[in-house]
């Protein structure tokens, strides 16, 4: 069966400089194994499948797959799927807000002046990281233990460990070996810069370390940590992907209730139909 298909570049207004996402817009009737097979074939960070919602509050439901597993939530797929759904003619119940249903529950998405933004979900796990794991991560990243200024669990579905380094230059200089778990690293730019933080995300895959170009879930949990501890003030812009030739820009804001919103530009690169 031919189904509507699109590829969206997320966290960039310039095609091919953000993080690509494959979206199957008419996924009714597809089984989990078929979804897994396509996600492995696209070999992108994530592939999503849009389905009718089961919650009366949601506008659509999405299942999110990496090439190797299904995720309950991920940030750049949330924005990219919403972009594709709206572009295909989706009409939200509330003109001011789109509600996405996913494995982690309901995620709210808003249109912004330069794209879309999702409300950061609650953290599943936070707090200090065990010292042996911090030491192991520092060794894997090729830096001394005392180069890690602070470490925090930043788990909002994907189980990120967040490390803070002294500055953005230190983050860009990382040349990691094999990391033992999913790890996000951030370092501040000098005061007065257009950018507040440089971010990089690494995860282990089949004995190797893979770097994610731009990571919404990590930036969401990083923002919750950095804002709570006074290391950042909203709004701010984080850069990601610089070290691998991308130019991702993630915009962090808060609302009057203190909720964190994670946003950026999205752009369609490929449209058509796919046989599934």
Is-catalytic flag, 33?
no
173 and 106 fall within a common domain: no
What is the extent of the structural domain holding 75?
2-116+263-275
159 and 186 fall within a common domain: yes
90 and 38 fall within a common domain: yes
Return the pLDDT at 216.
Answer: 95
143 and 198 fall within a common domain: yes
pTM, two decimal places? 0.95
CB half-sphere exposure, 230, CA atoms < 13 A = 0
Please give the C-alpha separations between residue 96 and each of 3, 99, 112, 187, 228, in angstroms, as whole numbers: 28, 10, 10, 34, 27
Distance of alpha carbon 149 from its chain centroid, rounded? 23
Number of domains in the chain: 2
213 and 250 fall within a common domain: yes
The string of pLDDT tens digits covering residues 177-192 is 999 999 999 999 999 9
Please provide residue 70's backbone torsions phi and psi, each rounded to the nearest 5 degrees: -95, 140
Could you please report the per-residue DSSP string of 105-168?
A: EEEEEEEETTEEEEEPPPPSB-SBPPHHHHHHHHHHHTS-GGG--EEEEEESSSEEEEEE-S-H
Return the pLDDT at 205.
Answer: 86
Given the residues 46, 101, 152, 198, select the one marked as catalytic: 46
The string of pLDDT tens digits covering residues 52-103 is 999 999 999 999 999 999 999 999 999 999 999 999 999 999 998 999 999 9
Distance of alpha carbon 211 from its chain centroid, rounded? 12
85 and 140 fall within a common domain: no
Give dist(CA 219, CA 239) in Å, integer.
Answer: 10
68 and 89 fall within a common domain: yes
The CATH number linked to 24 is 3.10.310.10
Return the pLDDT at 78.
Answer: 97
The string of pLDDT tens digits covering residues 196-223 is 999 999 999 889 999 999 999 999 999 9
| Cβ neighbourhood burial of 115 (10 Å; 0-12, 13-18, 19+) | buried
The string of pLDDT tens digits covering residues 31-44 is 999 999 999 999 99
13 and 65 fall within a common domain: yes
96 and 209 fall within a common domain: no
53 and 142 fall within a common domain: no
Return the pLDDT at 157.
Answer: 78
Give dist(CA 239, CA 252) in Å, integer.
Answer: 11
pLDDT-derived band at 26, boundaries 50, 70, 90: very high
């Amino acid at each position: 069966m031919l189904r509507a298909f699109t590829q969206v570049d997320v966290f960039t207004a310039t095609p091919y400089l953000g993080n690509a996402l494959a979206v199957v817009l008419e996924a009714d009737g597809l089984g989990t194994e078929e979804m897994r097979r396509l996600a492995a074939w696209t070999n992108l960070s994530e592939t999503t499948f849009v389905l009718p919602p089961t919650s009366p509050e949601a506008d659509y439901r999405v299942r999110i797959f990496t090439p190797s597993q299904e995720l309950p939530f991920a940030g750049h797929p949330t924005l990219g799927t919403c972009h594709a759904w709206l572009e295909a003619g989706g009409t939200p119940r509330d003109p001011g807000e789109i509600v996405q249903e996913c494995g982690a529950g309901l995620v709210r998405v808003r249109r912004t002046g330069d794209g879309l933004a999702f409300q950061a979900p609650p953290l599943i796990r936070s707090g200090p990281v065990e010292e042996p794991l911090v030491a192991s991560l520092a060794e894997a990243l090729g830096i001394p233990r005392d180069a890690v200024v602070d470490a925090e669990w930043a788990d909002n579905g994907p189980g990120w460990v967040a490390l803070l380094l002294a500055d953005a230059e230190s983050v860009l200089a990382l040349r990691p070996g094999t990391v033992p778990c999913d790890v996000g690293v951030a370092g501040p730019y000098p005061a007065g810069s257009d950018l507040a933080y440089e971010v990089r995300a690494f995860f282990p895959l089949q004995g190797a370390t893979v770097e994610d170009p731009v990571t919404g879930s990590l930036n969401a949990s990083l923002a919750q940590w950095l804002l709570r501890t006074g290391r950042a003030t909203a709004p701010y812009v984080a850069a990601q992907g610089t070290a691998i030739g991308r130019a991702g820009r993630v915009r962090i804001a808060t609302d009057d209730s203190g909720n964190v919103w994670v946003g950026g530009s999205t752009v369609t690169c490929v449209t058509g139909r796919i046989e599934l």
